[in-house]
Structure 1
Amino acid sequence: MSILLLPPILALFTIILIYIYFKRQYSSSPNDPPGQKPQIIFGNIFNSGLLTGRKTGPELFTAYQQEYGDVFLFWAGSHKCLVFCLPEHAQTIFSDRHTFDQSPLFIPNFDLLCPNGIITLSGAKWKRHARVMLPMFKRAKIVHYLETILHCTDQFIDKHLDDNHTYTDLTLRCQSLLMNIIAFIAFDHDLEAQIDSSCARALQDFIYYAGQFMMTAWLPRWLGKLYLKLNWKYQRAHRVLRELSEQIVEQEQNKHNDSESQRPKNLIASLVSSLNEQANDEQISSGLTQAEIFDEVLMAITAGTETTATALSWFMFYMSKHPRVQQRIKQELKEHDLAMGDNAHSSLLNLETLDSLVYCDCVTKEVLRLAPVAGITARRATRDTVVDGVPIHRGQDLYVALYNMNKDPRYWHHGDPNEFIPERFLFEDKNHHPYAMVTFGGGHRACLGQDLAQFELKLMIARLMQRGVSFEDTPENIGGCKQQVTCRPRHLVVRVRIDHN
C-alpha cells in the first residue's frame, strides 16, 4: 500500500516545489518600488490588459504612474523591471553609457525575426555595426535627400489621395510612402511600393508579427522559434523581404565593383563597402558579414517605414480634429511665397525655406510629443548603481516611460499638456526641460534615424499643405491606440480634400 502511495506523494511534492520556486521568482523584495501584483508566468502582461489589447504600453504606464508614482515595478513575464517616469531619471540613465546599455526587452524576442539588426544588439557587436551605419544618418547626409522625399510625397498625393474621398487605410498608405522613401534614400532602389504590392504586404505582415512578439516576453524562446517556423504567412513575408534585401545588396555590389574608389554616398553603399566575412566583435572596425548586412537592410526598411509612417498617420488624425492648425500652416506657406495647389514645384520648397517654417516645425514637434509612436525605451544595467534613491542591480532591466514625460503637467505649462497645441513651442514650453521630450530615446542608444525621421515628417507635412491637401473629421474617426511595433491610430477615418486652386 505504501509503495502505491509513493508516486502521488512524489508528484505532490514536486508540484509544491515548483509552486514555491515560481512564488519566489515572482515575489518583490521589501525595497522594491510599488506595482501591480504579478501573475505566475505572465507577470503583469495579462492582468494589466496589455496582452489582451485593452491597453497599449503608453496608456498602461500612464495609468500606473498615476496609481503608483514616478517609479514603479512592472513584471514583463518573469522579468522584474523598474519603470522611471521623470525627465531627471531619463537624464541620469541616458547620460551614463557605461552603466546602462540596450535591453532585449525594448522589443522582446525581436532577435528571433532579425538577429543581426542594430536595434537588438549591445556591447562590442553594437559598436561594430554603429561604426558602419551611424555616419549615414547624420543631418549633413540627410538634407541631400530633400528632392527625393518631395518627389515621393508628390507621387503619394497624385496616386493615393483623391479629392472628397473618405479613407480608412491611411496608415497603410503612409507605410507605402515611407517604404518608397527609405528604399530611395538608403538603398537607391525604386520599389514602386504600392498598397497592394508583395513588398508592402510582406512588410505589413513582418511588422504585425514583430508587434505580436513584443507581448511574448513570458513565453519560452523555443516556442517562439517553433511558431515562426510553422507559420506560413510569416515565412512568406520573411522570404519576400529576404529576397528584396538580397536584390538590393547585389545591385549595390555590382556598382561597388565598378567604382571601388568612391566614398559611400548612402547606407547600402556603406554596408557593402564594409563587407568582411571574417568580421568579429574583437575588432570594432572589422566591418559586417553578409548575413549581418542582409539583416541591417531588413531592419532599415522596417524601422525607417514603421515609425515615420505612424507619426504621419497621427498628423493626419490631429489635423482632422484641428482644422485651424491646417489653415495656419497654409497661411505660413503663403507668407513665405510658397505656391499652393497642383502647380507647386519642389524648387520652391528648399532647405532654406523649410528651415524658415517656424509654425510647421512646431506642428512637427507637437505630433512627436503627443503621438505615442514609441512610448517607452528599455535599458539593462551593466553594474550596480542607484537612480533617485532606487537601488539597481547588475543585470536589472528598466524602462524609461517617454510618453509619460511628454505629457507631464509639471514640465509642460502652456495649456493642457494632453491637448494638441503646437503654439506651446512658441511660448512657455519653447525652453522645456531637455529630457521632457525625448521621443527617440537618448544617450548613445538613441534612435540612429531620428534626424531623418524629423526631417522627413516636417518636409512631408509642408508638402501636403503646400499641395492644398486637407484632412476632415468624420463620425467614425474616434482615434484610440493600436499596439504593434509602434502605437498606431486605432480608428483613423478621415475625408481628404484637395484645393486645386
Structure 2
Amino acid sequence: MDFNLNTCVFLPTLEAAVSFYLLPNVFPVGNLASYWVVFVLVNTFAVVLYKVILYPFFLSPVRNLPQAKGFIPLLGHGRMLMRRPAGDTQLQAIKDTPNHGLILTRGFFHTDRLILTTPAALADVLVHKSYDFEKPRFARGFLRKFLGDGLLMTEGEEHKHHRKLIAPAFHFRHIKELYPVFWSKSIEFCNAVKAGLGEQPSSAVLEIGHYTTQVTLDIIGLAGLGRDIGSLRNHEDELIKNYEEILEPTTEKVAYFISHLVLSPTVVAMLPWKLNERVRVTTGNIKRICKEFVAERKMNMKQESQASTESRDILSIMIRSNDFSDENLVDQLLTFLAAGHETTSSALTWASYLLSCHPKIQTRLREEIHHRIPDPKALSEPAFDVASLLESMSYLNGVCNETLRLYPTIPVSARVAIRDSTVAGQYIPKGTMLFVIPWAINRNPALWGPNAEEFVPERWIDKETGRATMSGGADSNYAFLTFLHGPRSCIGERFARAEMRALVAAFVGTFEMEMADPGEKVVIGGTITSKPVNGMKLRLKPVEWGS
C-alpha cells in the first residue's frame, strides 16, 4: 500500500460518494465535501498506520533480522547517513551486531534498510543477482545532475549493451600501452609541485589536492578524449575550477545531498538555495566543455581516417561504434571525466596522507623506488616496459592496495530491489533498500583480522615469494570492495590501478613528505566521495632521485 493518487484522491472520492448517496443515515456527516474530507483523513491515517507501524514491525519479511543499535522512533537509524566519515557508523554496527550477512536498520518512518556484511550476501547482490538490484531513484537523480545519463546511470539491458561497447578501451593490453602516458604525466605532476613550492623549496607547505586533481584530469583527458587538457600547465583551467567547486567537501553540500534523500529533486530545485544556482552554473559549464570536446574529437577523427590512423581513446571508440548520439556521447564523457579523475585524485591524496603519517613505510617505499628505478628518465624511452616494472614492485603495489582498501573513493553505495529476490537465503521484497559499504567491509576485522583499520602494506606481499598478491591475506575477494564486483564493478579499475602506481612512484621518489601540522586531525567529508574537508596540506622536501 503506497501514498499515491488512488489512495489520497480517487478512493476517498468513491467512498464519499457511496456513503453520501447510498448510506446517508449510516454516516450523517452533512454534505459531499465533508464526506470526502473525512475519508481522506481516514485513508491517510490508515496508510500511515500501515507503513509506519504495522508493516515494518509486524508484517515485513525482514523484521526479525538482527537490528543495529541506535534506533529512534520515526527517525529510525537515519543518523547513520549523516555522520562522517561515511560508512564508519555502519562499520561499528557490523562489529556490534551478530549476524549472518544482513543487518536491519530503519530509515525515516521505519522503512527497511539492510546492511550487507558477508561475502555471500555481497556476492548475491553484486554478482549472482545483480540485475535484481538497482541504484535508488534519488541517487540516480542526484548524480544525473553531475554525470548526465552515462554508464553509471544506466540499468538493465541498456547498461549491458553500453558496457560491452566501452569495455575495449579498458582492456589490459590497452592499459599497458598507456603506462608511458601515466609516467610522463606523473613526472610533469612532480615538476608542477616543485614549481608550486617556490624558489626555495627546501621544505615548504603545499595543499596537494589541487595538484592531484590537475594531473588525474590531464591523464583521463589523454586516455578518454585523446587530447591533453593541460591543466597542470594552466592553474586557471576552467574545467578544474568547476570540478573543484562541485567536489569541495562542505557541510552545505552534505545537506544538499541529504535533501535529495528526503525531498524530490523537483522540490529541491524550487528551494531558494544559492547552491541550486551554483550547481546549475558549474554543471552547465562542464557540459558545454564536453560538447566542445566531442565536436573537436569528431573533426580530428575525420583527419585520422584520411591518414589511415585510428585512435583508441574512450571517446573515439564510442564514436566509431555509431551507437551513441552526440547528446549521449556528452553524457558518457561527463561520467568518465568525473569518475576517471576523482577516483585516483582522491586515492593519491590519501596515499600522501598515510605515508606522511608513517615515515618508516614512506622510507621503505622510496628505497624500493630508487633501487628499481635508478633513472626516472629511462622510463620515458619508447622501448622501456614501464608496465612490467611498476607492476612487479611489490611494496609499491602494497602501499597502493592498502590505500585503496582504507580509503575507498565511494565509501557507501545503495541498491534497491526492483523485484522480489533473495540474499544470503533471506527473502527480500521488491522495494527494499540494501547498502553496500566498501568503507565498512574493507575495514571489517572479521575479514581482515584485528589490524583491519591499520595501514599495513605488507599484508599485500607474499611472505614466501616476496611478490605482490591481490588478496591482501583476506579469504574472499569480496573483502575488498573499493571497485565493487560483477557486472556493475568499476570498468576503469585496471586504469585506476595503473595510474596510481605511476603517480605514487614518481611522487614518493621525488619528495619526502610529512603533515604540515603533525597534530592535525584530518576531517573526512564529501557527499559521494571521501575527501579531506580542509584539504591535504603537506610539508614537502625534494630529494635527489636515487639518493
Verify the 8 A CA contact 2:107 2:113 in the aligned structure 1: yes
Q: Cα distance 1:128–1:288, how it changes in 2: closer, same or farther (>3 A)?
A: farther
Give the equivalent residue in structure 2 for 1:239: 284
Q: Report which stretch shifted further, 2-11 or 181-190.
A: 2-11
Give the deviation of 1:382 after TM superposition.
4.2
Verify the 8 A CA contact 1:424 1:430 in the aligned structure 2: yes
* Cα deviation 1:229-279 (Å, max 9, x = unaligned): 98332222122211210111011111222344755511010122234xxxx
Amino acid at match of 1:248: F
Give the deviation of 1:371 after TM superposition.
1.1
Give the equivalent residue in structure 1 for 2:490: 447
* Cα deviation 1:260-302 (Å, max 9, x = unaligned): 4755511010122234xxxxxxxxxxx1121111111111111
Give the deviation of 1:185 after TM superposition.
1.3
Match of residue 223, structure 1, among 254, 267, 274: 267
Q: Report which stretch shifted further, 149-158 or 189-198.
A: 189-198
Match of residue 380, structure 2, among 310, 324, 346: 346
Between the aligned partners of 1:6 and 1:43, the Cα distance in structure 2 is 39
Between the aligned partners of 2:132 and 2:411, the Cα distance in structure 1 is 19
Verify the 8 A CA contact 1:43 1:218 in the aligned structure 2: no
Q: 2:359 matched to 1:323?
A: yes
Gaps of at least 5 residues in structure 2 are 1-27, 464-471
Q: 2:198 matched to 1:166?
A: no
What's the secondary structure of 2:375's corresponding residue?
A: coil
Give the equivalent residue in structure 2 for 1:132: 165
Match of residue 72, structure 1, among 96, 103, 107: 103
What's the secondary structure of 1:485's corresponding residue?
A: coil
Give the deviation of 1:188 after TM superposition.
1.6
Verify the 8 A CA contact 1:142 1:452 in the aligned structure 2: yes
Q: Report which stretch shifted further, 457-466 or 10-19.
A: 10-19
Q: Report which stretch shifted further, 11-20 or 250-259.
A: 11-20
Q: 2:145 matched to 1:145?
A: no
Alignment of 1:3-82 (within 5 A): 18=44, 20-27=46-53, 28-30=56-58, 31-32=62-63, 33=65, 34-35=67-68, 36-37=70-71, 44-45=77-78, 47-48=79-80, 50-51=81-82, 54-70=83-99, 71-75=102-106, 80-82=112-114
Q: Cα distance 1:69–1:375, how it changes in 2: closer, same or farther (>3 A)?
A: farther
Between the aligned partners of 2:35 and 2:103, the Cα distance in structure 1 is 41
Between the aligned partners of 1:410 and 1:63, the Cα distance in structure 2 is 12
TM norm structure 1: 0.85
Between the aligned partners of 1:432 and 1:270, the Cα distance in structure 2 is 38
Q: Cα distance 1:24–1:351, how it changes in 2: closer, same or farther (>3 A)?
A: same
Between the aligned partners of 1:494 and 1:230, the Cα distance in structure 2 is 30
Between the aligned partners of 1:23 and 1:172, the Cα distance in structure 2 is 51
Give the equivalent residue in structure 2 for 1:154: 187
Give the equivalent residue in structure 1 for 2:468: none
Give the equivalent residue in structure 2 for 1:278: none
Q: 2:437 matched to 1:362?
A: no
* Cα deviation 1:419-446 (Å, max 9, x = unaligned): 1011112258436322111211111100
Give the equivalent residue in structure 1 for 2:312: 265
Q: Report which stretch shifted further, 378-387 or 312-321.
A: 378-387
Alignment of 1:362-401 (within 5 A): 362-401=398-437
Give the deviation of 1:14 after TM superposition.
5.3
Amino acid at match of 1:200: I
Give the equivalent residue in structure 2 for 1:252: 297
Amino acid at match of 2:92: A
Gaps of at least 5 residues in structure 1 are 276-286
Give the deviation of 1:483 after TM superposition.
2.5
Between the aligned partners of 1:427 and 1:23, the Cα distance in structure 2 is 57
Q: Report which stretch shifted further, 9-18 or 242-251.
A: 9-18
Match of residue 475, structure 1, among 509, 518, 521: 518
What's the secondary structure of 1:404's corresponding residue?
A: helix
What's the Cα RMSD here? 3.2
Amino acid at match of 1:201: K
Give the deviation of 1:172 after TM superposition.
2.8
Give the equivalent residue in structure 1 for 2:501: 458
Relative to its length, the structure with more helix (as a share) is 2
Indicate the structure (1 or 2) with the bigger Cα radius of gyration. Answer: 2
Q: Cα distance 1:130–1:386, how it changes in 2: closer, same or farther (>3 A)?
A: same
Verify the 8 A CA contact 1:26 1:39 in the aligned structure 2: no
Q: Report which stretch shifted further, 186-195 or 428-437.
A: 428-437
Amino acid at match of 2:525: K
What's the secondary structure of 1:191's corresponding residue?
A: coil
Q: Cα distance 1:229–1:323, how it changes in 2: closer, same or farther (>3 A)?
A: closer
Q: 2:222 matched to 1:177?
A: no
Between the aligned partners of 1:12 and 1:173, the Cα distance in structure 2 is 63
Quote the sequence identity (%).
Answer: 19
Give the equivalent residue in structure 1 for 2:153: 120
Give the deviation of 1:490 after TM superposition.
3.3
Q: Cα distance 1:186–1:431, how it changes in 2: closer, same or farther (>3 A)?
A: same
Amino acid at match of 1:376: V
Give the equivalent residue in structure 2 for 1:292: 328
Give the equivalent residue in structure 1 for 2:243: 203
Amino acid at match of 1:268: L
* Cα deviation 1:403-425 (Å, max 9, x = unaligned): 22212222223x61111011112
Verify the 8 A CA contact 2:254 2:526 in the aligned structure 1: yes
